Amino acid sequence: MRPQHVLGGTFKLHDGQLMPLIGLGTSPKTWSTGWKWSQQEMDAAINAALESGYRLFDTAHVYDNDDVLSNAFKRLLPKFNLTREDIFVTTKVEIIIPNVQENARKILDKSKQAFEYLDLVLVHYPKYWYMKENDCKDNPVHRYEIYKVLEEYKDKGDILSIGVSNFEPRHIEELLQKVKYPPTVNQCEFHPHLCRPELKKYCQEKGIFLQAHTSLATNSEELYNSPIIKELSAKYSISIQHLLLSFAFKQNVGVIPKSSNPERIRENIKFLDFDLSGEDIKEMLTLDKGFDGRYNTNCNQWDVL
124 is in an annotated binding site: yes
Helices and strands, number each (H, E), in the chain: 11, 10
Listed in order, strand segments (DSSP E) in the chain are 10-12, 18-20, 23-25, 56-58, 88-93, 118-123, 159-165, 185-189, 209-213, 254-255
Catalytic residue among 54, 63, 125, 202: 63
Q: Cα 152 to chain center, whole Å?
A: 22
128 noted as active-site residue? no
Sheet holding 88-93, edge to edge: 23-25, 56-58, 88-93, 118-123, 159-165, 185-189, 209-213, 254-255
User: Rounded to an integer, what distance in angstroms lies between the CA atom of residue 231 and that of residue 237?
Assistant: 10
User: Rounded to an integer, what distance in angstroms lies between the CA atom of residue 199 and that of residue 288?
Assistant: 13
Calculate the alpha carbon distances from 299 to 145, 189, 199, 229, 287 in Å.
21, 9, 15, 25, 20
* Residues linked to residue 91 through DSSP beta bridges, in sequence order: 121
Enumerate the known binding-site residues for substrate.
124
Query: Could you give the residue numbers annotated as active site?
Result: 63
Enumerate the known binding-site residues.
124
